[in-house]
Structure 1
Amino acid sequence: MANSKLFLILEDAKKIAAAAETEARRNNWPVVISIVDEGGHLLYLMRSDNTQYGSIEVAIQKARSAIAFRRPTKVLEEQVNQGHVRYLNLPGAIPIEGGLPIVLSNQFVGAIGVSGVRSHQDAQIAQAGIDALNSDSF
């Protein structure tokens, strides 16, 4: 990380988003990528050309949901798919794959949310951003 404290700064968010954007471009997928801090506050937002504007809020909410519940939004989606509809009524929960928490040294420091293509593709893009945390280039 660019800083020594366990929280995200704008520079970190840009690096995570850049790795995610690279994955999206590699697949020619128009998406919105959002990065939030540990409190769910928006740090960074990127919208590819020709991405529907509805994906802006969805990407933000996926990231907020991932940090609020400290788990990938896919976990919530799986619960709903198994018939646990109470997850649909949790405040701040969006049970759609594509939101991942950002964890550093076992501490939740933020999240990434992606929206614009199929939800498993959104998650693939988000994972590329998370993977940047584990690379030597981060």
Structure 2
Amino acid sequence: MSIWWVINIVLFSILAVMLLSSLRVRLMTRRSATILTQEEFQEGMRKAQVIDVRERDEFKAKHILGARSFPYTQLKEIYVSLRKDQPIYIYDQSRALSARTANFLRKKGYTNLFILKGGLEEWTGKIKEKKLD
């Protein structure tokens, strides 16, 4: 077997793992939450609990105006501060952490879960940003 076959097999395996991981996130999202466009997210966010699941330093640097910092890494300790009777709007940089958060919250009995399509990366609404000196 030539080295090129080995390289092709390794590359194919890496690609397959990446595709399966992406599929898993999509299925998890579809089962746990509703994806909202920016317009839908902006319309409903005043009546919802808006949480940013990125780390606190990322939140401090830039976040959607009105959002609360709710780092995914601390979710197991702080999720109980969320109300089950109000919608929860979740976002991160893109969408992977949001899907994991929604899946975790669904398992804990939360049902009104929504994720921002495109995350903060594609957000064009109002933000709070720390100015660099």
TM-score computed with the length of structure 1 as normaliser: 0.28
**Greater Cα radius of gyration, structure 1 or 2:** 2
Greater helix share, 1 or 2? 2
TM-score computed with the length of structure 2 as normaliser: 0.29
